[in-house]
Chains A and B, each alone.
Chain A
Amino acid sequence: MTDVPLSRIDLKDRRFCLSYPPGDENLLWSIASVGIVQPIVLLDRAPYIAVAGWRRLRCARELRLRKVPALIVDIDEKTALMRAIHDNLARGFNIVEKAAVVDAMDRSGFSRDEIFELMKHLGLNPHEKVLSILLGIASLDAPSRDFIFRKNLSLRNAESLLRFEEKERRRILTALTGLHLTESTLREILDMLQLVRIRKGALAGRDIPVMESSDMLRSRLKQKTHPILSSFAKKLKAIRSAMALPPGVDIRVDPFFEKEYIDIILKIVNEDDVDAALGRISELVAEGHVRRILELTKGRIR
């Protein structure tokens, strides 16, 4: 191990850089407190090329250190890349880093079998389709990769995001970045956007509205992808509102209006509650509210 001046390291040569995100506040604090404990691995070239320790190097630069402890190795590039991967393997990679790993291996000329073997150790299904998604993630611009990392996207959702054109993806990120999104909500939103895109040929700005919450966005998109269903839901809401159901009486309707029947639910404490509820239900029938709901469930109106 030796101390190497930062000026002798080519920090622009990032061929072995796999870490994402590049910064780490805890590491910065740690190095500021006790210095770099574990040496950085450098490839013996002029200038040196960093193999492992990119985050430590970034912290060193931020802290304006002039020298860093380093281990100089003289190995070929494929071995160096494997060293970089194994140096980080124990801590575990996030999805963006996994994408960077397979992309770097692909670029360095590793065979499919070698890449698939490593994918198993990254907890990935060693399959051409998975590899293609990861290579797609690695090719994305920085904001898209950052979104994938911050929202902790699954491969499935990352794949959905990859299906959009760059311009569309930028709009989607603008609409989604500030929202709280579960995995399934995000999947639903991306699927709906994809559906609109397939039907229209491309997504325009107004197809990707910026809304206050994921529920509002989902609801707005649903109106585009499911206009009849949305209109039924609106009609049902209006009927419910006109019915003014008393406490203890509820009417449940299949959300897809597929089941012909409706459920009328009563919550009763005594016999008088039953009489009152049945009396009110009779009034609702006489007023035509129940018939109007059944017209929706039987598909009689559009």
Chain B
Amino acid sequence: MSSQKVEFVETPGSIVRKCPGTKHHICCGYQTIDLVEGCVLSCSYCILKAYLRDDTIRISHRPESIIEELNGMIDGSPRHVLRFGTGELSDSLAIDRRHNVNRFLVEYFGAKRKAILELKSKWADFRHLLPHLNPYTVISFSVSPQRFIDAEETRTSPVHKRLKAARLAQDHGCFVGLHFDPIVIYDGFERDYRYLIGDIGRILDPSRILWISLGTLRFPPALYGLLLMRKRRYLLSGEFIRGEDGKYRYIKTERIRIYRMLYRLLKDIDSSLFIYLCMERAGVWKEALDIDMKDTEGLTGLFDERIKNVYGGTL
């Protein structure tokens, strides 16, 4: 798949941490396990291009201390059900079959039964994990129209394979997550997203979709120059402004329009779907979804409620 160098490293310090979020925007209170740094999928818009020093994949190789860290965080947080993910600095599944990096985590969360592990990916093969899966591991896929994937996510699995993989996870008793992130404006994107959501409605069981996130394209200034240099037409079609956090994002009125459209289409599949906005302003929550979301604590509370409803208080 890729000739990128893979290194097993003893990362000093903590690799389990709160998602840094972004200034003036509401974060979902996610926790990240930075087990792998770097990604073989090499999507053209990936912010890792701007942040990481080279394209070496570094896998942190000290499961005992990671579990010790997780125990400390989970046991020290009785108020919230913590949600952890390994997909912040990498793709959770892309190199998992070859390097088996997630299995100890899947087994740990299955035994712990107090928190959720989310494996977030654009790579549709996780069959090697099937015998170990449990309800405390959520298999999640980023979803985008195939036209966009063909142009900007060329090394990833096609969207229909991602959706079939999500269905496979559901059929094995797992909950799944869907991440419309990045949502990208290009000629005809509205129609493409309508078809995509239609496919989701046909392929997946909505009652086993734990959450769906919506996040429009955003990136740091360093990446903007790269996108211009590489002439990424799909990524540069929309109208960008610099947000209060310094990142480029679509102008607010466009973000609101897109969120409204996708929210309505998804709710048409099943009105009980849990849909949230990733890194958005309180004003956008209000205008797009008519939800008074004040801050990160508020959104974290909504997640707690969702998990409680779905898991029936077993968590």
Contact = CB atoms under 8 A, between A and B. Distances in A.
Nearest to A261: B283
19 contacts: A163-B229, A195-B236, A198-B228, A198-B236, A199-B236, A226-B240, A226-B241, A228-B251, A257-B241, A257-B251, A260-B283, A298-B287, A299-B252, A299-B253, A299-B256, A299-B283, A299-B284, A299-B287, A302-B257
Interface in B212-244: 228-229, 231-233, 236-237, 239-244
Nearest to B255: A299
For the complex, would chain A's binding face be called helix, strand, loop or mixed by DSSP majority? loop
A206 interface: no
B80 interface: no
B241 A256 contact: yes
Contacts of B241: 226, 229, 256-258
Interface string A191-204: 10011001100000
A226 B239 contact: yes
B26 to A, nearest CB: 13
A227 B287 contact: no
Report, as a range, how many residues of chain A touch the other chain: 20 to 34
A259 to B, nearest CB: 7
Interface in A253-302: 256-260, 298-302
A226 to B, nearest CB: 5
Nearest to A194: B228
B284 to A, nearest CB: 7
A228 B231 contact: no
Report, as a range, how many residues of chain B touch the other chain: 20 to 34
B281 interface: yes
Given A191-B228, A199-B236, 13 more contacts: A194-B228, A198-B231, A198-B233, A225-B239, A229-B239, A257-B241, A257-B252, A257-B253, A258-B243, A258-B252, A299-B251, A299-B284, A302-B254
Contacts of B284: 299
A254 to B, nearest CB: 8
Shortest beta-carbon contacts, A-B, top 6: A256-B241, A299-B252, A260-B283, A299-B253, A299-B256, A198-B231
Contacts of B255: 299
A229 B250 CA distance: 11
B175 to A, nearest CB: 33
A163 B226 CA distance: 12
Contacts of B240: 226
Interface string A212-229: 000000000000011111
Nearest to B233: A198
A199 B236 CA distance: 7
B205 to A, nearest CB: 35
A191 B221 CA distance: 12
Contacts of A256: 241-243, 251
A38 to B, nearest CB: 43
A195 to B, nearest CB: 6
A260 B253 CA distance: 12
